[in-house]
Amino acid sequence: MHSLEQLRNDALREIESARDEKSLEAVRVKYLGKNGSISAWGERMKTLAKDERPVVGKLLSDARNTVTAAIEQRGAKIRAEEEFDALAKIDISLPGTPHEIGSLHPLHQMHDRAIQIFRRMGFALAEGPDIETEWYCFDALNTPADHPARNEQDTFYLPDGRLLRTHTSTVQIRTMESAPPPIRVIASGAAYRRDELDATHSPQFHQIEGLYVDKNVSVADLKGELEFFMRELFGAETEVQFRPHYFPFTEPSLEIHVRSKALKSGEQWIEVAGCGIVHPAVFEAVNQARGDDAYDPEKWSGYAFGLGMDRLAMILFEIPDIRLFSQNDLRFLRQFA
Ligand code: DAH
Provide the pLDDT confidence category of residue 1 given band limits of 50, 70 and 90. confident
Provide the pLDDT confidence category of residue 45 given band limits of 50, 70 and 90. confident
Number of Cβ within 10 Å of residue 202's Cβ equals 19
For ligand 1, atom 12: residue with the closest CA: 305
For ligand 1, atom 5: residue with the closest CA: 306
* Beta strand 204-214 pairing with 163-164: unpaired
Number of Cβ within 10 Å of residue 138's Cβ equals 24
Write down the domain spans for the chain: 3-88, 106-336
pLDDT for the residue numbered 309: 95
For ligand 1, atom 7: residue with the closest CA: 274
Q: Ligand 1: does its nearest atom lie under 6 Å from the Cβ of 306? A: yes
Provide the pLDDT confidence category of residue 267 given band limits of 50, 70 and 90. confident
For residue 125, pLDDT beyond 80: yes
pTM score: 0.72
Q: Ligand 1: does its nearest atom lie under 6 Å from the Cβ of 302? A: no
Closest ligand 1 atom number to CA of residue 254? 9
Per-residue CA distances from 183 to 7, 72, 215, 276, 314 (Å)? 96, 79, 11, 16, 30
Q: Ligand 1: does its nearest atom lie under 6 Å from the Cβ of 205? A: no
pLDDT for the residue numbered 33: 94
pLDDT for the residue numbered 301: 98
pLDDT tens, position by position, 272-313: 999 999 999 999 999 999 999 999 999 999 999 999 999 999
Per-residue CA distances from 314 to 188, 238, 265, 293, 311 (Å)? 17, 16, 10, 42, 5
Q: Give the largest Cα separation in the chain, rounded.
A: 128
pLDDT for the residue numbered 96: 86
Residue 311's identity, in one-letter code, is R
Q: Which helix (H) or strand (E) holds 250?
A: strand 250-259
Provide the pLDDT confidence category of residue 75 given band limits of 50, 70 and 90. very high
Closest CA to 213 of 325, 302, 143: 302
pLDDT for the residue numbered 266: 79
Best substitution site from 254, 255, 275 to test ligand 1's pocket, by max atoms within 8 Å of Cβ? 275
Using CB atoms within 10 A of its CB, is residue 213 exposed (0-12), middle (13-18) or buried (19+)? buried
Provide the pLDDT confidence category of residue 228 given band limits of 50, 70 and 90. very high
Q: Supply the mean pLDDT for the chain.
A: 94
What 3-state DSSP class applies to 35?
A: coil
For ligand 1, atom 3: residue with the closest CA: 167
Q: Which fold has domain 106-336?
A: BirA Bifunctional Protein; domain 2 (3.30.930)
pLDDT for the residue numbered 168: 98
Q: Ligand 1: does its nearest atom lie under 6 Å from the Cβ of 276? A: yes
pLDDT for the residue numbered 239: 96
Best substitution site from 118, 169, 246 to test ligand 1's pocket, by max atoms within 8 Å of Cβ? 169
pLDDT for the residue numbered 220: 98
What's the gap in Å between 21 CA and the centre of ligand 1? 81
For residue 260, pLDDT beyond 80: yes
Give the DSSP letter string of 104-153: --HHHHHHHHHHHHHHHTTPEEE---SEE-HHHHTGGGT--TT-GGGSTT
Provide the pLDDT confidence category of residue 164 given band limits of 50, 70 and 90. very high
Q: Ligand 1: does its nearest atom lie under 6 Å from the Cβ of 274? A: yes
For residue 63, pLDDT beyond 90: yes
Q: For the chain, how far is it from start to end, CA to CA, in angstroms?
A: 79
Q: Ligand 1: does its nearest atom lie under 6 Å from the Cβ of 308? A: no
pLDDT for the residue numbered 98: 87
pLDDT for the residue numbered 113: 95
Q: Ligand 1: does its nearest atom lie under 6 Å from the Cβ of 250? A: yes
